[in-house]
Homo-oligomer: A and B are copies of this chain.
Amino acid sequence: MTTDAERFLDDFTQLSAFGATAAGGVERQAATAADGQSRAWLAAWLTGHGFTVAQDRIGNQFGLLEFRPDAPYVLAGSHLDSQPRGGRFDGAYGVLAAAHAADRLRAQVAATATVPPCNIAVVNWFNEEGSRFKPSMMGSGVFTGKLPLAGALVTADAAGVTVQEALAGIGGTGPDDVFGTDRTVSSYAEIHIEQGRELDKGGVTLGLVDATWAANKYEMAVIGAQSHTGATAMADRQDALYGAALVVVAVRELADRFGEELHTSCGQLTVHPNSPVVVAREVHLHLDLRSPSDELLVQADAELHRRLAEIEVKAGVQVQRRFAHTWKGQFYQPAGVALAGAVAADLGISQMLVQTRAGHDSTNMKDMVPTVMLFIPSVDGISHSEAEFTRDDDLCAGVDVLTETLARMVQGAL
């Protein structure tokens, strides 16, 4: 193993200690103390390796390496926040890989004395996960102008703490318009574990992401009437939890009916008042439908709404659709896919095209600048779980590919 690889693995072990759980995962939700610790560690690492550290108002954290004043920046990174009891690779790997890759470039540039046409910067996007504050991909959403800053800052978690307050609590914001009028970002790269089992199944080291699944996310409220679980006759009940359970089952049955091209979930369901002897008056739930086919998603959505109307009658409840966040299936720039494919071929690393079913910060960035999205294998495709695991060899191969990809990007390859 090379010294570069050893250094990377050693740093990854250090980073994985923040919010570490006994079962080998991390719990580092956005702007919690553990998130703050991992950010402080990253800031110290970046500063120690010659980067200038800056934060913007939504808590994105940057490390800048300026080779040439006023030149545009190639940006690379991912996110350090995690799901509750999440895995230690999801996001964090991509941030550290970007930091190491940029640092290797710094050394290359210093050794050659040729100044490249672009600068390079590393980013830790704020709140990619969206488990504490919704929506997910918040930091990159604000950065790319898709999500208004003011609304994001006043978004509250379940305890009523806002993003602004939580960020202040970990010293997580800056006044900086990091890439403002005088600096621009010209391209973006991100590397991530697959969160699926295509690479693992195929024994392939590198996934070139060429497209992203379409997704419909709905917040729904099922409205019933509060009553006594023992005393109220069954016929008199308007049981919001019974109605919500029928919705959860209907959502699963959609996937059974439409087949492998549709993923459906309800991951969040909250009951009011949630007392053992009270028939629930209101249940809030968050539905998630994803497909590589926009058309299939339209069909699934129509079928879901037919089922919701039936459930309203059956359970004597109202089902209100309160908020929807949808995106169509989208493509990454073919030039980025080709660039990373050429790098992998030159390095003798096996590769295949893959799609991403999960959203990533690169999903936002690709709409602003040419973007490269890379995957490395995740054993058994496990993700958002403490059991998430990627082998050392794959971690190190990913950093090598990212380094060479960024080397070509700072030379203006995209």
Contact = CB atoms under 8 A, between A and B. Distances in A.
Interface string A252-284: 100110001001111111111111111111000
Contacts of A241: 248, 266-267, 269
Interface residues of A, number: 72
B263 A267 contact: no
Given A232-B383, A233-B260, A381-B233, A265 B252 contact: no
A357 interface: yes
Copies of this protein in the assembly total 2
A267 B384 contact: no
Contact of A131 (B83, B197, B217, B276): B276
B233 A277 contact: no
A213 B359 CA distance: 52
A84 interface: yes
B252 A249 contact: no
Contact of A230 (B131, B263, B286): B263
B227 A136 contact: no
Contacts of A267: 229, 241, 271, 274-280
A32 interface: no
Contact of A228 (B217, B236, B266, B358): B358
A227 B385 contact: yes
Contacts of A268: 271, 274-276
Interface string A358-372: 110000000000000
Interface in A275-325: 275-281, 286, 288, 290
